[in-house]
């Protein structure tokens, strides 16, 4: 069920994983995981698309696709400072 604490934790952890990886790599990982877990591809596509949209919104808002926390942590090495 949506909104359960454990589901939220998994979702957040997953989002953090996505943030620090290049999106193509992540799609590969998700496809492998999907095959492993027997998830339907439309669901995987939905997750990938949501991630891409989230990143696009961040770029619009702050000029950086990473979360504010990760951006600050990366400092001058962040992808947005190059």
Taking the least distance from each CB to Zn ion, the nearer of 26 and 71 is 71
Residue 77 C-beta: closest distance to Zn ion, Å = 9
Residues 71/58, Cβ–Cβ less than 8 Å: no
- The closest residue (CB) to Zn ion is 64
Q: Where are the alpha helices (DSSP H) in the chain?
A: 5-19, 23-37, 41-62, 68-74
Taking the least distance from each CB to Zn ion, the nearer of 15 and 78 is 78
Residues 44/31, Cβ–Cβ less than 8 Å: yes
Q: Count of residues binding Zn ion (CB under 5 A)? A: 5
- Cα-based torsion angle of the residue sequence 58, 60, 61, 67 in order, rounded to the nearest 10 degrees: 20
Taking the least distance from each CB to Zn ion, the nearer of 21 and 35 is 21
80 binds Zn ion (CB under 5 A): yes
Judged by CB under 5 A, which of 71, 73, 77, 82 binds Zn ion? 71
């Amino acid at each position: 069920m949506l909104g359960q604490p454990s589901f939220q934790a998994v979702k957040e952890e997953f989002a953090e994983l996505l943030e620090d990886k290049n999106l193509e790599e992540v799609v590969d990982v998700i496809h492998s995981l999907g095959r492993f877990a027997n998830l339907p591809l439309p669901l995987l596509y939905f997750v990938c698309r949501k991630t891409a949209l989230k990143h696009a919104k961040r770029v619009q808002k702050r000029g950086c696709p990473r979360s504010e926390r990760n951006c600050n942590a990366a400092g001058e090495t962040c992808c947005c400072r190059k």
